[in-house]
Structures are given as C-alpha cells and as structure tokens.
Amino acid sequence: MLSTTSNCGCDGAFLSLLDDLFITQHVTFPTRYRNDQTPSILDLILSTYQHEVTDLTSLPPLGKSDHVVISFEFLCYHSIECVNVPKYLYGRGDYRFMSHELLDTNWAQQFEGQDMESMWLCFHAKLLNLIDKYIPVKTASSKPKPKWLDWPTLKAIKLKHKTWNTYKATKRHVDYILYSKCRNYATAAVKHAKSTFETKSARDIQHNPNLFWKYVRSNTMVRVDVDKLLKDDGTLTCSDHEVANRLNDFFTSVYTDEPTSEVPTLPDRSNGSTLQHTEITHEDVLHQLNRLKPNKSCGPESR
C-alpha cells in the first residue's frame, strides 16, 4: 500500500524519488477495496507534466476484481507547425539615414491642427515606415535550434550522422568502430553543452531571468495557452488578435457605463502653484535610458 503521507521506509523513499525526478503522481484516492480491509492506493498514474492527465475519476471494478477502474484523459504531445516569421536585424540597421529623414521631416507641418493622439499616430506610422526601409529583415523559423547548441557540439552531431551513413553504406566493422567513437564524442559534447548552458543560466538568473525561463518553457512539452473563444456569431476565434478582442469585449462589459452628459463638478483643489517651466537635459534622458533592462523584449503593441 502506498501512503502519501509516509516519510520513511519504502513509501517515503519512492515519493522522494518522484519529487527529485519532477514526476507527478496523479492518483490520490484508494484503488483497492476488500471487505474488512483498509482501502489502499495500489494503482498509480505517473507523468512528467502535471497537465498531461485530466478528468481523473474512479469507476466500479470489473467482474470480481477488488481494484477500481481508473478513467482519465491523457493529453498527447502535438507537433508544432513551423511557420517562417520575419525578424528585424536591428543590429544591422542604417540609423544614420533614419536620423537624417527624421530631422528633415517638417514636424510642425505634420502635427498642425492635430491632437496628441493623432500626432502620436503620425509619428508612429513614420517610424514604422523607416524601420521597414532601413532595417534588414530575415525569415526565421518559429522553431529555432536549442539555445545550448553551440558550434562545436553541432559539428560533433554532424560528424556522427556522417559516420553512421558511411557504416550503413559499407557495413564494415571498421566503419562501425569509427561511428561508435563519433557517437560517444557527440553524446559527451551534448551533455557538456547542456550542463554549461544551464549552469550559466542559473548563475545569471538575477541579471537575465528571461533567458532562464525561456529555456524552461522550451523544455515543456505541455503548455497551458488561451484556447479558442466563442464569438457572438457562434464561430470560434482563429487568431491571437481575435482572442484579445474577445477578452477585451468581455472585460469592458462588466464596467458600468456612466453617462457623459452628467459629469459632476469637482471643487477646485489648486494650491496656487503652477508648473510653468520643465527642463529635460541630456543627462536626465541618458540616466533613464541606462535604467532600461536590455533583456526585456517589447510586446506586439510596439509594432
């Protein structure tokens, strides 16, 4: 019998081993019943990730068995479709010509008669146009190579594949020996590259936590994402943009729609002082820029 509260003996050692291996044991109810005996947990469901097993229930035993029937849903791994997405190479941008175009633009004429929101939209459109014009773009796969894969490790893996193909073609013992050496070398190189990358990520977690958590998510096969939502016309959302709009419509619906024609008059809370002059120096701007975290990526709203 497995005791989920045991801290000693075989039960405790087994549960401790599951915790060390980050394995989830899903069965928390007794699975064996016999007359005049204490029910016990003898049937286990182990998985690498917690969200792989859902809707876990127990059903009556089959025939004369004293073990219950365990019913559950198992989320199988799904292949990720590789989609080529454009990526701006900001490190190779021609910022000198971008600055010239921004300086040559008559902003007073562009912003004439516009409110703050319209001026921002005008400037934003101009900036996006310059980015498309002066920043080179490359097509990157949505499934990039592992972060730990450096050039020596990749070279060792390619050599292993090359010697394996040679052995398949010749079937000679000497070629198999060569393949075995390359295989062992590639295996050791992969382990060393992973260990080095993981150690560096853990050491730099205070300064660059995004790198650490990105690596953790890349090794997670089952991910919890926002599912498709039902729209007003009865169809399901088919893109992240539609999901965001649907959630926004729901959140705005719970707020009270106050009439704008009856705005209350607030008392004057002025203390007599007004802000008449604001001076922003280059040192102030540089100080704020130095406080920015370079490992933080901008969201989709920046585009």
Domain boundaries, the chain: 9-74, 84-141, 151-218, 224-254
Q: What local confidence, expressed as pLDDT, does residue 303 receive?
A: 46
Q: Which tens digit of pLDDT belongs to each residue from 71-102?
A: 898 877 655 555 566 788 888 889 999 999 99
Q: Which tens digit of pLDDT belongs to each residue from 186-239?
A: 999 999 999 999 888 888 887 778 878 887 777 776 666 666 788 888 888 887
Long-range pairs of 102-109 with CB within 8 A, sequence gap ≥ 24: 102/126, 102/130
Local structure of residue 241 (DSSP, 8 states): H
pLDDT at 67 over 50: yes
pLDDT at 155 over 70: yes
Q: What's the CA gap between 204 and 207, in Å, rounded? A: 5
Q: What's the CA gap between 187 and 194, in Å, rounded? A: 11
Q: What local confidence, expressed as pLDDT, does residue 68 receive?
A: 86
Kindly report the pTM of this predicted structure.
0.45
Tokens of 223: 């991910």
Residue 144 has a CB neighbour count (10 Å cut-off) of 10
87 and 136 in contact (C-beta within 8 Å)? no
Q: How large is the average pLDDT for residues 43-51?
A: 85
Q: What local confidence, expressed as pLDDT, does residue 250 receive?
A: 87
21 and 31 in contact (C-beta within 8 Å)? no
Q: Kindly give, in sequence order, each residue whose CB lies less than 8 Å from that of residue 3, ignoring residues fewer than 6 positions away.
A: 11, 41
Write the secondary structure of 168-221 as one string of H (helix), E (strand) and C (coil): HHHCCHHHHHHHHHHHHHHHHHHHHHHHHHHHHHHHCCCCCHHHHHHHHHHCCC
How far is residue 210 from each of residues 49, 92, 216, 221, measured CA to CA in Å? 21, 24, 10, 19
Q: Which helix (H) or strand (E) holds 215?
A: helix 209-218
Signed CA dihedral, 131, 137, 141, 145: sign only: negative
